[in-house]
Structure 1
Amino acid sequence: MKKQKSVNRLLTLALVWLISLFAIEPAVAQNTASIKGLVQTESNEPLNGVSVTATNLATKKSVSATTNEKGFFSISTLQVGSTYNFTFSYIGYETGYVNAFKLKEGNENSLLIRLKQTAADLTEIVTTATNTKRTQFETPMSITSLNAETIESKKFNSNADILRGIPGIITENSGGAVAANVYVRGLPTGGQYILTPIHIDGMPVLGTAGLNSSATDVYYRNDLNIAKIETALGGVSNLYGSGSVVGLINIISKTGTDVQKTTVQSEFATPGKSQFDFQISGPTGKNAYYSLAGTYRYDNGPVVFGLPTQGYQLRGNLKKILDNGDVFTLYGQYINDKAQYYLPYPIDSTFHRPQGWDGKTIYTLETKDVDNLTVKTPNGVYQSKGANGVFTKGGYLMVDYKHTFLNDLKFDFKAKAANYYHEFNFFNLSGSGVNPAPQGNFATVKLGSTITAFNYTYAGDGTTLNNNALVLENNMTDRIRPVNDFATQFSLTKDFTGKSVNQTLTIGGYFSNTNAGDFNFQINYLSEFNDKARILNLNYTDALGVKKAYTVDGVTTAPQYVNKYLSSIKKAAFLTNEVRIGQKLRVDVGLRVEGQTANVSSEKKATITNADGIKVTWGNGVYDRFDLNASDWALSLASNYKLSNQFAIYGNFSRGYYFPELRSYAVVYSNNVPQYPTLTTEKIKQAEIGIKHYSKNVNASLSAYYEMLDNRRSVAYVLTGGVVNQVTYITGSKAYGIEGFLNYKLSKNFNLYTTLSYINSTYTNFDQTPALVGNTVSRRPNFMNDATLEYKAGGFAFRFNNFYNGRRFADDANTTSFAPYNLSKIDVSYTLKGAKKETVSFNVGIFNLFDNDGITEGNFTAGTTQLNNQKYFIGRPVLPRSFYARTILNF
């Protein structure tokens, strides 16, 4: 006990001594003066982090400071009566100067300076999460930053429009407002952002993705509160947050300032979209700010088929700058939105939209009749939720606290909690594997050649189907997927300054707990082959003369049932060091160690025949339950060398991992003995070298990369006998390619932005089909080019964009390829400015200007092979031409 008291006394004395060290204020000479100042943009926005240097003209000694969140700085150790030159440096802005400023005695000295943004787009990099400000020119990786103006000019329907053309990112625009297919380079993954997780303000949308097949962009909608979107491929930046060695996408929100701002926007677009947005921000009190955005949308879907949807979202933040300089920000979102999704369907053998029996072009076989699909199950009557489309309701709260202590040790803490009710109900329009067929052929194939007196009628009103109409069997799959998620991250960052070597060391940790349900129920139905197809009943007489029905209210069978509960806990620690050697060399080193524990509960199922004679697959109340766990590490090395003020070379190498999608794991039975799976991480290595150029009018880069991915668990949905089953392939791949971008200010009024990507990706392993080794990974174009020509003069702006998507294979067997296509967009706007800096903008545009019907994907349920040897082929054309008009008010 005495020993413990002695220890307590020593600790108390030590604590008092430490406090006294920080409590002592240094003596200040009486002949010193202080200066305060404010640094803003040309539009009076405060600039945080501006480097301010005061140089005494007589002694040549310099003193430095940095502006705070409100753009203010203060220097209190200057000499009264002396004359100083002041320099203001900030990334992405021209250096500002105040020369020969003579200091007065006391605190009467003050400065106000406004910095002008540089001509080329070299915006500050926030995605890196390394707590040092860099431009693209200084960063040793491929990184793209899209500001709010660029996002506004690119957006049309989904994330695919915004991200299209970014080097290293492959997007497919066709599905609708959500669930964009987004891939990274040549890696064999689905389009659910698995290898490029989405972060919002530095935290992942979900701590663990892949618990089901819903893409993470279903949990939010793009709004006017987005300040910028940044993508980072490679480098230490990807070791933060949820972690992704290949890359991540970070959405950065606007926050309020001392200037009150309001934006109101309305948009009308064909084929029936009305959307209204607002964003308002400003001060709420002393050093306190807010920003709030809302969006409401009503539309008829990406193509019209009779099930309009609507929804809204509110998203914003509150920021408080404390007296000690700490910054506390609270973020929040609430969403209640439904959106329709558009999937592949039978197109003709020349890969163009077909015609129906009425001679009209078929844009979709999706139908409003699914709202009435009903089937009896062991638990009662089940009615399809197809009319809901993609439905998301819920939101998140996130806190971000930044504190600096012990002079320059920075502490950053983030915590985010999210809860969503989510449905993804979709049409699988490849049917039961039978292409659209004449009525007689379909009936005899399905029911046998001995049937007689068959007839097709519309299930809704009983009228007879036109004799020339083709028929096919489709299905509607309801997927109900509630999810709750908690994630937190903290980091400590310390700067070490030497004579020629400066370092920024960051150490931190990450934790997430994600839980999700995955209920799937499939209902097969019979329909005509026509635009906005109606569902059918088929009645016939069998060989014994008995009258029978193949369908009941259009339903043929309910062959699939899935009921899973999945949970995942991730724990990670990371350590990074950014080293700046002299003025030219930067070296980044990063290490991340992570472990995952997971649990899967999957209900077993059985098939019954209900009272209507329909086969229904349903759960039997017995569950397979098993645990999974694994751990791994990632290492990243990167370097950037400044050859001159205009040229820099860079390179990076990383060894990393991915935790496979948990939805791919299941118990396998052999002679009624369960065999439980084990969790094995996927391994990835990548290397990149490149050169960057920056001058007053040019921002450009060119790079080459190489990647190897092993033990990849590729998850696919394969249609067999009318039932969509989940299938897992163990694959490996390698890819190499070239990427580049050019932002060139051609003249005062003209600007050209263009990107290019060349990709060569092949399989090195394919467990179920070894013959596929050496084949090209499907749906990866060999070449892409995105080019935008922009003209601005006064309040007038004109933009023309063309995206070229090169040849791709529809399947991994490389049996069918899709021809290249161009997707063009034109956008014209005119802005009127008022005396108080308020503006009104009128904006019109055309998406898919030339109404191209290029194919983005084929039959995703066909497995590894899709043959084009029949009259019809399953494919999804890009969205048809659409016109839009927007009005934007800023005040």
Structure 2
Amino acid sequence: MAKGRDRLDAAISTSALQGEEVEKLGASSVAEIVRNIPGIRVEASAGVGNNSYTIRGLPLASSGSKYLQFQEDGLPILEFGDFAFLSPDLFLRNDLNLAAVEAIRGGSASTFASNAPGGVINFISQSGEEEGGAIQASAGLDYESYRTDFRYGGRLSDTLRFHVGGFYREGEGPREAGYTAYRGGQIKANITKEFDGGYIRLNGKYLDDHAPTYTQYPLAVSGTNDDPTYETLPNFNLRHDTLLSRNITNVLNRDGDNQLHRDDLRDGMHAVSKAIGLESQIDLGGWTVTERFRYADMSGKLIQNYPVAVGPAGVVASTLGGPRATLRYATGPNAGQAIADPASLNGNGLLAASLLMDFHLNSMANMTNDLRASRVFELGAGKLTVTGGFYKARQTLDTDWLFSSIVSDVNGDGEAALVDVTTATGVPQTQAGVFGYSAILVNAGSRRKYDVDFHTNAPYGSINYHVGKVAIGGSIRSNSGKAEGSVFGSELGGGRVGIAPFDADGNGVITPAEARSSVLPLTTPAPVDFDYNYVSYSAGINYRVAEPLALFARYSRGGRGAADRVLFTPAVSPVCGDLLDNADAYDTVKQAEVGVKYRRDDLSLNLTGFWAQTNERNLQINASGGAGVVAQVERIFRTYRAVGLEFEGSYSYGPFSISAGATWTDASIEGDEFNAAVIGNTPRHQPDLIFEVTPQFETKAFTIGTNIIGTTGSFAQDSNQLRMPSYTLVNGFVQYRLSDQVQLSLTANNLFDVLALTDVTQPAIPATGVVTARALNGRTVAGAIRFSF
């Protein structure tokens, strides 16, 4: 918030990754970039978007990035980072436009931005300061991916510069889907006019990209909860396969207006963003005034195949169709053929009962404006820096949740097929593999429509006084939020109907599957109309012991608005739309940190100790019934605590350099309103240690290096029974420069094809010996050629 100054004179924790370093890593997603920032824990298993993030032991109870805000050129992508099933990285892509990634970690972020008490990660675009450009063609060498990137920038005059760049790609991707799952790209451009005392910049972005979402898939487990052994299944390798398939593409359903609609799973994660922004900075009477504005018209679709129960084919058949139920292929090359021996089906004998989760993102439009002014005053023997500003945002959530329940086999290589279940008396319980045009496998509801706007207003200010070796300062931000609009769904009660027959095939006969159809009660919306206020503050002191050494300490209190996570819960009245308890409107985060920074020549070392305590109101997906296999959504209201140490360092000597980071965390659940049994336990997925190391050797002709990412083991769920194992991923990169204009590169992710789990749905080993889990992609190798000009 204050003017930039030497990091050794600032009582905050910051990091930066330059665009050139990001390019070496060959990162295929934002998540694969961010996991190289110390303190940040990333579950990078969903694909290019919809991954999950947290920082310094703050809970990752659900999905998204609740306490960590993603920004693009200084403004948030989404005002709230954990909309249900929608993460900010859905609308953010990495390409040659990237100049740097800068991060603020810890409590100081509470007053730098609204709804970001844990940290801020800012993706900064190139702006034409360097003349020239590049075009790059890349391809997967052991998987199908073809991509072209370009950028060009420079000066149009002494005071006018520009930059334009983007990418386009196509291919099946790193996992077998059986079709072209990746297709699309983006283009970004900006133009900057410089003048005495400042500049003004106009920027724009158009993103239209399809990518698959990788969810939880079946995995074999044996041994004990404390010492389990995880193995991939016959004909289904969790590292390389997915239940997406060329045989499961089009399924009938109802849309957000209760009309006939056809879901196409090949649409996958479809993100569209049309954004325009204005940035300016000017010196006025000794004050530096900065204005940032952006309007982003964001929309799209997210459709995924999410297995909620996986088990022996015969057991699943009898559960859905009764004793002696029979099975028959509904789609694929064997459509119509009976499955005579379910126990040997695909060599694993499994069926998956899954939800087709189809989210229509009608509008996620976001308007943000940040106006601030800063000035440095000479005061006594030191300098006083004063900053003040006002932030305003409007975030739209206009989405439809359209679920179907399906049955499929468990088969890799993009060959999974839908399966029909018929009772012993010949009554079909499925229709072309659809068990119900609803989320009936989990509940009769979960068909929802949101039409809500979230408004945020936040005046803020900071002061910092630097005299001699001491810098002391504080900041404050007053956050006012308002939610207004309507929601639709039978879960809201009040006589709202949730199940109604649906003649999907139009033959005039209602089948059992068509009878299990959910409907949106469009004539009985429930209002949303609540507001809230909270104050964030932060104070710190920095002592410059010597030129290369500094000590600092900071205490902060921040908050995070609950946004959509309280809708469709008892927290909001379905009659008046107001909160029944104002405490449900936001969660409070308290943090303290002390650290030491050392920097001399080519050596930089930072060590920070941290403490955090937070409230958490959220919804969490896990498995019901102890060691059961059926997924459920659980409402949680908890208090968490975390203490830890965070290390960041870098060293270079001649052509050799190394950067590294590590975070040790001791976290626990301190209180739980609904489940006292988890009090004192370690939060799920929280390892004791995460680390990243990147050594490299660089000459004029070539660069060679590795990027090592690792984590110790953790618990699958908050009950602290079943453990997930530790993993270490080794990624490699090589760049060879044929000339100043031509470069060849080779990147390999997960070089040793490690099974790296980020999520296991079940709390304990089930009797079937099969869990559903998320894993990082297996080994992928890509090559590229770049021409610079």
Determine if the alignment matches structure 1 residue 877 to structure 2 residue 775: yes
Distance 2:240 2:5 in 1: 52
- Paired residue for 1:572? 458
- Paired residue for 1:177? 48
1:168 to 39, 63, 69: 39
- Paired residue for 1:709? 614
Determine if the alignment matches structure 1 residue 271 to structure 2 residue 143: yes
- Paired residue for 1:557? 436
Determine if the alignment matches structure 1 residue 744 to structure 2 residue 651: yes
**Superposition TM-score, scaled by structure 1 size:** 0.79
The residue type equivalent to 2:245 in the other structure is T
- Paired residue for 2:190? 317
- Paired residue for 2:742? 840
Distance 2:94 2:281 in 1: 26
The structure whose Rg is larger is 1
Alignment of 1:55-204 (within 5 A): 129-135=1-7, 137-189=8-60, 190-204=62-76
Distance 2:477 2:162 in 1: 35
The residue type equivalent to 2:24 in the other structure is S
Structure 1 residues 687, 672: closer, same or farther in 2, change over 3 A? closer
Distance 1:646 1:778 in 2: 39
The residue type equivalent to 1:147 in the other structure is Q
- TM-superposed CA distance for 1:466, in Å, is 6.4
Distance 2:23 2:571 in 1: 53
Q: Quick check: 1:599–1:625 contact (8 Å CA) kept in 2? A: yes
Determine if the alignment matches structure 1 residue 516 to structure 2 residue 414: no
1:603 to 481, 485, 488: 488
Q: Bigger relative contact order, structure 1 or 2, given CA contacts below 8 A and separation 6+?
A: 2
Determine if the alignment matches structure 1 residue 585 to structure 2 residue 442: no
Q: Quick check: 1:155–1:162 contact (8 Å CA) kept in 2? A: no
Structure 1 residues 846, 457: closer, same or farther in 2, change over 3 A? same
Determine if the alignment matches structure 1 residue 786 to structure 2 residue 692: yes
Distance 1:890 1:446 in 2: 60
Is the partner of 1:300 in helix, strand or coil?
strand
Distance 1:790 1:475 in 2: 45
- Paired residue for 2:444? none
Q: Quick check: 2:110–2:557 contact (8 Å CA) kept in 1? A: no
Structure 1 residues 355, 630: closer, same or farther in 2, change over 3 A? same
**Superposition TM-score, scaled by structure 2 size:** 0.89
Q: Quick check: 2:184–2:209 contact (8 Å CA) kept in 1? A: yes
Structure 1 unmatched ranges of 5 or more: 1-128
Is the partner of 1:214 in helix, strand or coil?
coil
Superposed CA deviations along residues 506-539 of structure 1, whole A, max 9, x for unmatched, are 0110111111112111111111122135333435
1:478 to 337, 355, 358: 358
The residue type equivalent to 1:766 in the other structure is D
Distance 2:574 2:604 in 1: 64
Alignment of 1:526-675 (within 5 A): 526-531=407-412, 532-538=414-420, 540=422, 542=424, 546-560=425-439, 561-582=447-468, 584-605=469-490, 606-610=498-502, 611-614=510-513, 615-621=516-522, 622-666=524-568, 668=570
The residue type equivalent to 1:876 in the other structure is R
- TM-superposed CA distance for 1:220, in Å, is 2.3
- Paired residue for 1:390? 269
Distance 1:207 1:539 in 2: 44
Distance 2:190 2:238 in 1: 49
Between Structure 1 and Structure 2, how many residues are aligned? 739
1:438 to 301, 305, 313: 313
The residue type equivalent to 1:708 in the other structure is Q
Q: Quick check: 1:755–1:786 contact (8 Å CA) kept in 2? A: yes
- Paired residue for 1:506? 387
Determine if the alignment matches structure 1 residue 689 to structure 2 residue 599: no
Q: Quick check: 1:633–1:656 contact (8 Å CA) kept in 2? A: yes
- TM-superposed CA distance for 1:499, in Å, is 4.4
Distance 1:277 1:536 in 2: 38
Determine if the alignment matches structure 1 residue 260 to structure 2 residue 142: no
Superposed CA deviations along residues 203-261 of structure 1, whole A, max 9, x for unmatched, are 1112344444300111121111111101111354542343523211011111113x531
- Paired residue for 2:443? none
Structure 1 residues 333, 412: closer, same or farther in 2, change over 3 A? same
Is the partner of 2:368 in helix, strand or coil?
strand
- TM-superposed CA distance for 1:549, in Å, is 1.1
Distance 1:361 1:511 in 2: 43
Is the partner of 2:136 in helix, strand or coil?
strand
The residue type equivalent to 1:514 in the other structure is Q
Distance 1:888 1:713 in 2: 48
Q: Quick check: 1:203–1:242 contact (8 Å CA) kept in 2? A: no
Distance 1:361 1:254 in 2: 35
Structure 1 residues 744, 466: closer, same or farther in 2, change over 3 A? farther
The residue type equivalent to 2:769 in the other structure is K
Is the partner of 2:78 in helix, strand or coil?
coil
Distance 2:571 2:472 in 1: 52
Structure 2 unmatched ranges of 5 or more: 223-228, 440-446, 491-497, 503-509
Structure 1 residues 298, 673: closer, same or farther in 2, change over 3 A? closer
Distance 1:631 1:828 in 2: 51
Q: Quick check: 2:31–2:48 contact (8 Å CA) kept in 1? A: no
Superposed CA deviations along residues 313-339 of structure 1, whole A, max 9, x for unmatched, are 0112110012x3331011110011111
The residue type equivalent to 1:175 in the other structure is A
- Paired residue for 2:216? 344
Distance 1:758 1:669 in 2: 35
Alignment of 1:733-812 (within 5 A): 733-745=640-652, 747-812=653-718
Is the partner of 1:316 in helix, strand or coil?
strand
Structure 1 residues 359, 682: closer, same or farther in 2, change over 3 A? closer
Structure 1 residues 720, 385: closer, same or farther in 2, change over 3 A? farther
- Paired residue for 2:493? none
The residue type equivalent to 1:385 in the other structure is D
Distance 2:574 2:384 in 1: 60
Superposed CA deviations along residues 168-207 of structure 1, whole A, max 9, x for unmatched, are 1001232211122211121123341221111111111123
Q: Quick check: 1:373–1:554 contact (8 Å CA) kept in 2? A: no
Q: Quick check: 2:321–2:423 contact (8 Å CA) kept in 1? A: no
